[in-house]
Amino acid sequence: MGPILSSLVNLQAIETELRKTQQRLKQAQQVVLRQEIQIKHLQEASVAKKEETKLTRIHHDKLELELKTREESIAKLRVALNNARTNKDYSAVLTQINTRKADKSKLEDQILTLLSQIDADQAARKEIEDNIEKERVKLAETRQISQTKQQEIQTDVDKLFDQRKEAVG
């Protein structure tokens, strides 16, 4: 019974070491996967920021068009102001001009806000792109290290399999 028991204990030790080594191999592979997922998330954030910038730019262009329309309207009202024949007509047209100028001023403020937002979005996207590039460099280094580590661990796993075969055989 003594030799069988010692063989079983030895086999158990080999099995335990084999499981630990296989777990280390799995962890080495997961490090690379986690970094790849991080890069994917950053790329998705970059695409989302690009889309957000595009939508903001479209809104900006619409407001610019509306601003030009209002400027043309004000120009027409100025012509009407010069052609006004009575004080009542003059006052009514002047009130319309002032109202449209106030609306135009609000539009200009909105346009400036949108331009600031576009600049901020572009800066944020640039930062994300820089982070993606840094993560790619880091991933390449990690892959190299992980590959070396995986080869070492795989060698250990192979040795343990051989030891297990000897212990079982």
Half-sphere exposure of 117 (CA within 13 A, CB side): 17
pLDDT at 72: 96
Q: Name the residue type at position 164.
A: R
Between CA 130 and CA 136 the distance in angstroms is 10
The pLDDT of residue 99 is above 90: yes
**Domain regions of the chain by residue span:** 2-168
In this predicted structure, what is the pLDDT of residue 1? Answer: 57
Can you give the pLDDT at residue 169? 67
pLDDT at 143 over 80: yes
Query: If we measure between CA atoms, which residue out of 44, 62, 46, 50 comes closest to residue 114?
Result: 62
Instruction: Find where tokens 């796993």 sit.
Output: 157
pLDDT band at 156 (very low <50, low <70, confident <90, very high): confident
Q: Does domain 2-168 have CATH number 1.10.287.1490?
A: yes
Q: Return all residues near 31 (Cβ < 8 A) that are at least 6 apart.
A: 142, 146
Work out the mean pLDDT of the chain and round it to a whole number. Answer: 91
- Virtual torsion, Cα 49, 55, 60, 66, nearest 10 deg: -170
Average pLDDT over residues 114-134: 96
pLDDT tens per residue across span 39-94: 999 999 999 999 999 999 999 999 999 999 999 999 999 999 899 899 999 999 99
- Residues 35, 146: contact at Cβ < 8 Å? no
